[in-house]
């Protein structure tokens, strides 16, 4: 398990009350190395907001959690991956904001974004977007990439 850096926590803290998500872009990693067995998972999720610059959640370089970015060039990152893997990897983008799942985000401002805390550190394996009556969790999974679901309290 890893932890969010001070800079990443600052990104989360900058998302203030009355911030609404207006775009959710999923970036799917397609492993084409085995022709009859294409492996696909969500590698990055970009959030666009009504009142601030977008943020990017992606699987970190050590492949053990989520990292957050505000300064990025997604087209360049995609090109680098596809070139590095000799086009055996393709990354596709799709805006999911009109998916019924994200209606909660379109219609309700974010109340908070939370991560599991251990003493003064925050684990980078999961983020919980709190919209008041409902919450959405984004979890890192070693085999399935970034997974998005409604959050259920234990």
Q: What is the pLDDT of residue 42?
A: 95
State pTM to two decimals: 0.92
Q: Is there a domain that residue 109 lies in? A: yes
Indicate the number of domains in the chain: 1
Q: Is there a domain that residue 89 lies in? A: yes
Q: Is there a domain that residue 1 lies in? A: no
**pLDDT tens digits, 68-92:** 999 999 999 999 999 999 999 999 9
Range of the domain at 91: 6-150
**Which residues of the chain form beta strands (DSSP E)?**
21-31, 39-49, 55-59, 66-69, 89-95, 112-114, 117-118, 121-122, 126-130, 135-141, 145-150
Q: Is there a domain that residue 112 lies in? A: yes
């Amino acid at each position: 398990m890893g932890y969010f850096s001070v800079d990443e926590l600052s990104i989360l803290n900058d998302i203030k009350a009355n911030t609404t998500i207006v775009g959710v872009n999923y970036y799917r990693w397609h492993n084409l190395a085995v022709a009859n067995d294409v492996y696909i998972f969500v590698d990055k999720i970009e959030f666009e907001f009504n009142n601030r610059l977008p943020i990017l959640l992606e699987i970190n370089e050590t492949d053990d959690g989520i990292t957050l970015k505000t300064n990025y060039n997604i087209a360049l990152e995609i090109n680098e991956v596809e070139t590095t893997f000799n086009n055996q990897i393709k990354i596709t983008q799709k805006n999911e904001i009109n998916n019924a799942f994200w209606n909660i985000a379109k219609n309700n401002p974010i109340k908070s974004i939370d991560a599991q805390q251990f003493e003064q550190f925050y684990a980078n394996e999961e983020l919980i977007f709190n919209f008041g009556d409902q919450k959405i969790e984004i979890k890192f999974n070693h085999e399935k990439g970034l997974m998005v679901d409604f959050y259920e309290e234990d």
